[in-house]
Amino acid sequence: METKKNKEQYKNNVFVKWFLNNRLSIALLNILLLFLILLVFNKISFILNPVWTFFNAILPPLLVASIQFYLMNPIVDFLEKKWHIPRIITIILLFLIVIGLIIWIIAILVPIVQRQTTSLINNWPDYWKEAQKSFNHMIRDPRLSGVRSNINDAIANAQSKLFTTSKDSIDIAVANVTNAVNVITMIVMTLLTAPFVLFIMLKDGHKFKPYLAQFAPQRLQKSFASLLHDINNAIASYIRGQITVAFWVGVMFSIGYSIIGLRYGITLAVLAGFLNLIPYFGTFIALIPALIIGIMTSPLMLLKVIIVFAIEQTIEGRLISPLVMGNKMNMNPVTTILLLIGASAVSGLWGVIFAIPIYAVIKIILVRLFNYYRDISVLYNEKDNSTSDKKSLEE
C-alpha cells in the first residue's frame, strides 16, 4: 500500500507533471540547449575561421564536381548494372562527350550569344530613349493628370538612387580590383581541379555511403545509411530536375523567339535557361528584357512575346516539370515561396539557389531525429505508460 501511495504521489507531483513529463517543457529545454551551443560557437568563432577559409577554398570545385556527378552517375550505374560495362570506360566516354559539347558551345553558340549581347549593349541606350519617349507620351494623357506629379517624383527619386548606387558600385569595384584577381584565380583552380574530383566521385561514388555509415554506432548504422540514402536522393532529384527543366526552358524559348523573329532571341533564351535555376521567379525575371525589346519593336511583337511565354509556361507546368520533378521534393508551393523570399533576404542569389536543397536536407534530418526521439521517449508512449502504471498499481 505504501508503494502504491508513493507512486500516486510521484505521479501527481507538480514538478513531474508540468516539467519532467511535459512535452512543451522538454521542447523549450532542447531549444535553450541549442541556443547555448550556438552561443558557445559564436564565442570561439576565431578558432573556426581557418576552417571556414579552408572550406570556402575547396567548395567551388566540390560544388561543380557534385553537380556533374549527379548528372552522370545514373548513366554510369545503369551501364555497369545492365551491361556490365566497367565504370572507368563509361566515365572516359562521358568525359569525351562533355568535351565535345564544350567545343561545340565554344565554336557555335558562344559567338552567336556574343554578337547578340554586344549588339544589345550597343543598342540599349536607343531602346532606353524610346522607352522614355513612350512613357512620357503615356503620362501626358489627360486621364493621368491627377497622378502625373507623383509619377514624375517617383521617376526622379529612382534615377537619383540609381545614380548613387551606380557611383557607389564603381567606387567599390575600383577599391576592390584585387578581388577580381582572386575570383579569376578561383575560377582557374576550379576548372583545373573539378574534373579530377569528378572522376574520383564517379569511380568510387557508390562506396561513399558504406564508408560514412561505418562511423555510426553499430546499432545505428542501418538507420544512418538510410538517412544518407534519403539525403542523397533529395539532392539528386533537385539538381537533376532543375538542370533538366532549365535546359528545356532555354530550348523552348530559343525555338519560340526564333519563330516570331525576336531580336537577340538566342541570348534571351540562354538567359532564361540560366535564370530558371532560380525556382519560381527566374523565368519571370528573364521575361523582362524580352518584353522591353518586344514593346520597342512593335505592339505586335510584344503580343508575340507574351504568347511564346504563355505557351512555354503551359508546356513547362503541365508536361516538363511534372515529368522531371514530380513531387519528389514534397514541398508545399507556399512553403517554397516563403523559403525563397527569406533566403534571398539572408544570402541573396546564392540563398535562393541553395535554399530548397538545404531545407530538404534539414527537414529529412529533423524528421528522422523526431521519429527516433518519439520511439525512445516516454512522452509519446502514453498508452504503454498508462498500462504499465495500472499493472504496477494492481501489483
pLDDT tens readout for residues 84-118: 899 999 999 999 999 999 899 888 888 888 888 88
The amino acid that residue 283 corresponds to is T
Q: In terms of Cα–Cα distance, which of 255, 253, 236, 275 is closest to 360?
A: 236
Measured distance CA(353)–CA(343) in Å, rounded: 9
The pLDDT value given to residue 393: 36
Helix (H) / strand (E) element for 219: namely: none
Helix (H) / strand (E) element for 190: namely: helix 177-204
Q: Could you tell me the CA-to-CA distances from 376 to 26, 362, 372, 381, 385 in Å, in that order?
A: 14, 21, 6, 9, 12
Who contacts 236 (Cβ-Cβ below 8 Å, separation ≥6)?
70
Measured distance CA(158)–CA(54) in Å, rounded: 41
| pLDDT exceeds cutoff 70 at 63 | yes
Measured distance CA(273)–CA(290) in Å, rounded: 13
The pLDDT value given to residue 173: 46
Arithmetic mean of pLDDT, 346-363: 85
Q: Are 74 and 206 in contact (CB under 8 A)?
A: no
Q: Which three cell numbers stand for residue 394?
A: 494492481
The residue written with cell numbers 561545340 in the block is: 104
The pLDDT value given to residue 394: 44
| pLDDT exceeds cutoff 90 at 75 | yes
Which span out of 53-62, 114-123, 260-269, 386-395 was modeled with the highest average pLDDT?
260-269
Question: What distance lies between CA 337 and its chain's CA centroid?
Answer: 12
| DSSP code for 278 | S
Q: pLDDT tier at 170 (50, 70, 90 boundaries)?
A: very low
Q: Which three cell numbers stand for residue 170?
A: 564603381
| pLDDT exceeds cutoff 50 at 83 | yes
The pLDDT value given to residue 58: 87
- Sign of the Cα pseudo-torsion (52, 58, 64, 65, in order): negative
356 burial type by CB count under 10 A (0-12 exposed, 13-18 middle, 19+ buried): buried
Measured distance CA(351)–CA(349) in Å, rounded: 5
Measured distance CA(299)–CA(295) in Å, rounded: 6
Measured distance CA(2)–CA(13) in Å, rounded: 16
Q: Please indicate, yes or no, whether the overall pTM of this predicted structure exceeds 0.85.
A: no
Q: pLDDT tier at 180 (50, 70, 90 boundaries)?
A: low
* 280 conformational bin, left if phi > 0, alpha if psi -120 to 50, beta if neither: left
Name the least confident of 169-178, 182-191, 250-259: 169-178
Tens digit of each residue's pLDDT (9 = 90 or more) over 209-264: 888 888 888 888 888 889 999 999 889 988 988 899 999 999 999 999 999 999 89
The pLDDT value given to residue 353: 81
Alpha helices by DSSP H, 261-320: 265-275, 282-297, 299-315
Using alpha carbons only, give the angle 169, 123, 121 rounded to the nearest 5 degrees: 40
| pLDDT exceeds cutoff 90 at 140 | no
Q: Which residue has the higher pLDDT, 174 or 337?
A: 337
**Averaged pLDDT of the chain:** 79
Q: Which three cell numbers stand for residue 246?
A: 532549365
Q: Which residue has the higher pLDDT, 285 or 17?
A: 285
Where do the DSSP E strands lie in the chain?
Answer: none
Helix (H) / strand (E) element for 145: namely: none
